[in-house]
Amino acid sequence: MTTAPAILPQWAQVLDTDDFRPRGRLTPQAPLGPRTWFRVGGAAELLFQPASAEDLAQVMKRLPLEVPVLPLGACSNVIVRDGGIDGMVIRLARGFSTITRDGDGLVVGAACLDMTVAEHAAEAGLSGLEFLAGIPGSIGGAVAMNAGAYGSDMSAVLDWVEVVTRDGRLLRLPAASLDFGYRHATLPPQSVVVRVRLNAMVAPPAIIRQRIDEIRTAREAAQPVRARTGGSTFRNPAPDESQRKAWELIDAAGCRGLTVGGAQISEKHCNFMLNTGNATAADLEQLGDTVRQRVHDHTAVTLRWEIKRIGRPATHRMGESA
């Protein structure tokens, strides 16, 4: 027996007419769990995988402004809640994965994985981007959250970013306009990063590769990189809040190895949560909130989530109020 194809939501009918059809792929009720590092979560009401920046701009221009838009990258630092995501989720793919040398830097598509960019820079003899080898995820997400590790972050290497705005404009914004902070960048609301320029310095490829190897080795030794995880769960507290890092606070509160359902705090690095095999998004979020409460009870420090929690709990269906 064949299954009837999913039907576009009523608000998306404008994206499939005799006058206009996107070149990219529209998928109603697209499961998102298999696309996330945690392997949990519900479906997108509509998933759009654009073929190009122009294709994305045309869709954004036609989409009713009241429809929410959410870009997702490699989904390495998100929990998609079990009830799914209303509106349109945008996932960039092949048309956004080119890397070209531009003088002493690289122009990079937003879908490129951070590790791939670090490797490409090494091949080109460009130094300063090695830290990307220690960050799971894609370049678009790295810009949006000012991702950083091993002594550097995106604010230190970004020259400009190109975004498609919610009303369908393609803009190039200088890095100085993004108001970078700790794990934060100010982008136009509901805009989608499509391309960036990263600055670097010429250096011998062998030295660059040695640094990348050092970062890989350090990361694999300290983090559960081969598990179903999502990177650092909580931000490190500001110096005026605590002199200890998040993992130290979590450990001191007795949370190493703590479990809720199929979710567990890593024994290897206790600022990482794991899906041990059958966790739900609700398990992971409850575990994180339990850790936050225990840390606060033990130290009076309130940990702030670094992982993004998006979508609706399983008790809500699309179209209902949260």
Q: What residues act catalytically?
A: 183, 232, 306
- DSSP-derived secondary structure for 125-140: TEES-GGGGG--SBHH
- Please give the Cα distance from 174 to 292 (Å, whole number): 36
Helix (H) or strand (E) holding 297: helix 281-299
Residues in the chain: 322
- Cα Rg, the chain, nearest whole Å: 20
Distances (CA, A) of 288 to 83, 123, 128, 272, 282: 18, 40, 34, 10, 10
Token digits of residue 307 = 């992982």
For the record, the structure tokens of 176 come out as: 């100085």
Partnered with residue 16 across adjacent β-strands are none
Whole-angstrom distance, CA of residue 231 vs CA of residue 115: 14
Alpha helices per DSSP H over 113-226: 114-123, 139-144, 205-222
Residues β-bridged to residue 70 = 89
Please say whether the beta carbons of 75 and 173 come within 8 A. Answer: no
Among 163, 190, 195, smallest CA distance to 177 is for 163
How far apart CA 41 and CA 32 sit, in angstroms, is 6
